[in-house]
Amino acid sequence: MPVSLPPALAVLLQERLKAELFRAEKLEGGVCNVVWRLPTADGLVAVRIGEPSALQWGASRHSELAALEAAYPMGPAVLMADPEAGWLVTEWIHGRHWSREEAGETANLQRIARQFASLHALAPPGGVRRLTLRSTLAALGAEPDPTTEAWLTALEEGAQIGLCHNDPHHRNILVDDHTAPRLVDWEYAGIGEVAIDLAEYANVHQLQERERRLLMDAYRAAGGRVSQLQFEAAGYLCQLRTALWESLASKKQS
């Protein structure tokens, strides 16, 4: 049995899922999680053990669970969870991650835009936290300034509010040749300005002007409603959020 698997969870995995603990495979995870791929009687599952430090970076385990349940099948099905203990067991999604280059290809921009539009069209589910860029920036210690305030005002005026993944980089997207992209790692999910998902995707994958236009055109064609100004405002503010997050992380690690 993997020594880092909590004993109480190991018992539940055996009792409920007939898990083959001796065949568990530890995967590369983020700085805040340990992930295991685990065979069970009904197939593979993903077991995520969250580190307490994740909460310091803005993760919310209760909100994550509510978001996952609301967004299925855009995300994996939840099999077992204990938000207080920080562990989560979901179906194993078979697929692969895009490369950064693939994330900017026309067909893939259209695929992810349609998935964002579907996610944002969901009725905001109960149990998911309200999370705006204004509140996030304040929590990260952003200093008030006229430029930031102008962009926040541009984002918030007439903003479309919905369920957002909030961390849509290519390592959190799984694809195959036949189905829509599926999103994993929902611990930063929240109900907020939907332009955030589009802008963060564009920023993380360093989309050029043509690619950004294709993303927005495909999103609107799928029924999404985000203005160009809101997209640009979210882009600037997401870059600021990333810079503040990295600065905070650097200070805590030093």
- On whether both 122 and 237 belong to a single domain, the answer is yes
Answer whether residue 201 is part of any domain.
yes
- On whether both 138 and 226 belong to a single domain, the answer is yes
What's the pLDDT at 232? 98
Q: What is the pLDDT of residues 188-233, one digit of tens each?
A: 999 999 999 999 999 999 999 999 999 999 999 999 999 999 999 9
- Which range marks the domain in which residue 62 is found? 7-91
Q: How many CA atoms lie within 13 A of 14 on its CB side?
A: 12
The alpha carbon of 1 is separated from its chain's Cα centroid by a whole number of angstroms, namely 30
**The CATH number of the domain where 30 resides is what?**
3.30.200.20
- On whether both 215 and 245 belong to a single domain, the answer is yes
- On whether both 177 and 223 belong to a single domain, the answer is yes
What's the pLDDT at 125? 92
- 80 beta partners: 89
Q: Considering 65, 91, 117, which residue would you say is the last residue of a domain?
A: 91
- Residue 239 pLDDT exceeds 80: yes
Rounded Cα distance between 4 and 38, Å, is: 14
Q: Considering 56, 91, 126, which residue would you say is the last residue of a domain?
A: 91
- On whether both 117 and 72 belong to a single domain, the answer is no
Q: Which residue has the higher pLDDT, 121 or 247?
A: 121
Rounded Cα distance between 253 and 37, Å, is: 28
Answer whether residue 2 is part of any domain.
no
**The CATH number of the domain where 247 resides is what?**
3.90.1200.10
Q: Considering 67, 91, 115, which residue would you say is the last residue of a domain?
A: 91
What's the pLDDT at 56? 64
Amino acid 230 reads Q
What's the pLDDT at 1? 45
Rounded Cα distance between 193 and 64, Å, is: 17
- On whether both 71 and 103 belong to a single domain, the answer is no
- On whether both 221 and 247 belong to a single domain, the answer is yes
What's the pLDDT at 251? 76
- On whether both 84 and 124 belong to a single domain, the answer is no
What's the pLDDT at 57? 65
Joined together, the tokens standing for residue 133 give 């860029």
CA-to-CA dists, residue 61 to 13, 17, 128, 137, angstroms: 20, 22, 10, 20
